[in-house]
Chains A and B, each alone.
Chain A
Amino acid sequence: MTHAVAADDVWKYYGDYPALREIRLAVEPGSCLALLGRNGAGKTTLLRIFAGFSKAGKGSVSIFGRDARDLETRRRVGILGHGISVYDELSAFENLTLFGRLYGVADRRKTALDWLERVGLRHVRDGLVREFSRGMRQRLAIARAFLHDPQVLLLDEPFTALDDRAIAVLQTVLRDALARQCTIVLSTHQLREAMELATHVALLARGRLAYHGERSAEMLSDPGWLYARYGES
């Protein structure tokens, strides 16, 4: 049974500095892994390798057993990064149909309209993103990231700097995805919303995998518990 997302002895160097060291990690389909760690521990680097933005220096990363950079694999992965990755000069509807076409979504227009409805932007479908407020842009980014119904969702600190409406939308989207046995990997700073969803937790310290296992109850109640026991305090 292939893992949904797997890293096999992954190293990543910036010049001679090993940003990631010997990362061995497997995420089962239908589970949600929370990537924890201080700034610079390598969370974003690992997530970018999973997403196919960059290649592993040594070792390999696979999604459903296939290389992360493979075209078919990328069609099944949804990514929500720090940047909202939508075009200011295009309207909300044009942005979604553009990404719909790139991801080969069957009925682009209907799917785009459904998602605009779902994130509450149906009334501004032809408004240029340039005029959108921060909250509207974030919700459009959520729609763009999950428009093509991905089986694997990769989120980089998803809940930070979202307004309450966007958080509500994102939580429903993620709960739906888990209900449909999708796999989620999200990097987070111990935020409660992220930890509630997590079924497993992985702690990165200075590029090494310090802990990987089930997310227990006390991790949720006491955010510092995991750092104290495994990561350097």
Chain B
Amino acid sequence: MRNKLVYILGALVAVLFVRNLYVILNVLPDEANQGAMYRIMFFHIPSWWTAGLALTVAGVTSGLYLATGKMKYDAISVSVTEVAVAFLCIGMTTGMIWARIIWGIWWTWDARLTSALICVLLYGGYLILRNGIEDPTSRARISAAFNIFAFVDVPIVWYSIRWWRTQHPQPMSLPPEMWSALLWNWLALILLMIIFIKMRLRQEEMRREVDGLRRLAHAI
């Protein structure tokens, strides 16, 4: 049953992407000085929103694991975090390509960019930490605690453009049709995230099955 659901969602996401790309490329007018480049924002901004949403979910489930000790929360937080890291990479690459043209430089130690990079480092460290620990229970406990520590950086990324002078574009008001394109693409990215999380969760269950089988194999 699970596979069928994933395939349906997959098809839906594909259709959504095609529709969004059509709208973004053809329907919307050009922006005065950026030319065609501004259209990257329809992927750049939603990918950061999706990553932020995912990392918040991961932070909550890590807290829930520490409170209740149920392994399913640990499975959810690792799946959601891993997918979030993928979306962080999308956000970073699209941002840097946009900066290369508009600012003329790939990277600048600007408050928003630096805190975002720290975010990638922290959650990358989380993933590396996980496969450094064998025992499932202490792996869950330690990675949940680290996830909460890493989560502190997410609001810093969000508010960095308000706290420090930053070259990063400030949130501005957009004409309604741009807003709708932005939100539609965000929906597509969220559905894509859900597919990845479902697949990753299934892998976690299979890993636990492997641990069980391995213990059985040793026990006999």
Query: Which residues of A line the B interface, CB within 8 A?
Result: 13-17, 55, 57
Complex interface: chain B residues within 8 A of A55 (CB): 69
What distance in Å separates the Cβ of B204 from its nearest Cβ neighbour in chain A?
12
Question: Which residue on A lies nearest to B134, using beta carbons?
Answer: A15
A145 to chain B, nearest CB (A): 26
Quick one: CB contact mask for B81-125 with A, threshold 8 Å, 1 for yes? Answer: 000000000000000000000000000000000000000000000
- Bound together, the chains give a CA A13 to CA B141 distance in angstroms of 13
Which residues of the other chain, A, contact B135 by a CB distance below 8 angstroms?
14-15
With a cutoff of 8 Å between Cβ atoms, the chain A residues found around residue B211 in the complex are 15-16
Interface pairs (19), CB distance under 8 Å? A13-B137, A14-B135, A14-B136, A14-B137, A15-B71, A15-B135, A15-B136, A15-B137, A15-B208, A15-B211, A16-B71, A16-B136, A16-B208, A16-B211, A16-B212, A17-B212, A17-B215, A55-B69, A57-B69
User: Which residues of B lie under 8 Å from residue A16 when comparing CB positions?
Assistant: 71, 136, 208, 211-212
Task: In the A-B complex, list the 9 residue pairs whose CB atoms are closest, starting with the nearest.
Answer: A15-B136, A14-B137, A16-B212, A15-B137, A16-B208, A15-B211, A17-B215, A57-B69, A16-B211
Q: In the docked arrangement, what's the CA distance between A172 and B212, Å?
A: 46
A57 to B135, CA, bound (A): 16
Which B residues lie within 8 Å of A57 (CB)? 69
Closest to A58 in B: B69
**What 16 additional pairs, Cβ within 8 angstroms, besides A14-B137, A57-B69?**
A14-B135, A14-B136, A15-B71, A15-B135, A15-B136, A15-B137, A15-B208, A15-B211, A16-B71, A16-B136, A16-B208, A16-B211, A16-B212, A17-B212, A17-B215, A55-B69
Q: Encode contact with A along B201-220: 1 for CB under 8 Å, 0 otherwise.
A: 00000001001100100000
Report B-chain residues with C-beta under 8 Å of the C-beta of A17. 212, 215
Interface of B is mostly: helix
Q: How many residues of B contact A (CB 8 A)?
A: 9
Query: How many angstroms between the C-alpha atoms of A86 and B208 in the bound complex?
Result: 39
User: Residue of A at shortest CB range from B138?
Assistant: A14
Task: For residue B11, give the distance in angstroms from its CB to the closest CB of chain A.
Answer: 35
Q: Which single residue of chain B is at the shortest CB-CB distance from A19? A: B137
Question: Can you name the residue of chain A whose Cβ is closest to the Cβ of B69?
Answer: A57
A17: nearest residue on chain B (CB-CB)? B215
Note all chain B residues with C-beta closer than 8 A to A15. 71, 135-137, 208, 211
A14 to B208: give the CA distance in the assembly, Å. Answer: 12
Bound Cα distance from A57 to B208, whole angstroms:
18
Residue of A nearest to B140 (CB): A15
CA distance A55 to B66 in the complex (A): 12
Residue of B nearest to A56 (CB): B69
A89 to B136, CA, bound (A): 35
Chain B proximity of A226: nearest CB distance (Å):
24
Query: Quick one: which of A13, A16, A55, A57 has the most chain B CB within 10 A?
Result: A16
Q: Chain A's nearest CB lies how many Å from the CB of B217?
A: 13
Query: What is the distance, in angstroms, from B77's C-beta to the closest C-beta of chain A?
Result: 16
CA distance A184 to B67 in the complex (A): 32
> How far, in Å, is B20 (CB) from chain A's closest CB?
42
CA distance A106 to B108 in the complex (A): 62
Q: How far is A15 from B70 in the complex, measured between Cα atoms in Å? A: 10
Question: Which residue of chain A is the closest to B215 with respect to CB atoms?
Answer: A17
Binary interface encoding of chain B residues 52-76 relative to chain A, with 1 for a CB under 8 A from any of its CBs, else 0:
0000000000000000010100000
A13–B212 Cα gap in the complex (Å)? 13
Q: What residues of chain A lie closer than 8 Å to B208, measured between beta carbons? A: 15-16
A16 CA / B69 CA spacing, docked (Å): 12
CB distance from A89 to the nearest CB of B (A): 28
A57 to B136, CA, bound (A): 14
In the complex the two chains form, what is the Cα distance from A67 to B23 in whole Å? 62
Q: Which residue of A lies closest to B211 (CB)?
A: A15
**In the complex, what distance in Å separates the CA atom of A14 from the CA atom of B212?**
11
Contacts of B136 in A (CB 8 A): 14-16
| B162-213, CB < 8 A from A | 208, 211-212
Q: How far is the CB of B215 from chain A (nearest CB, A)?
A: 6
A57 to B137, CA, bound (A): 11
Query: What is the bound-complex CA distance between A16 and B208, given in angstroms?
Result: 8
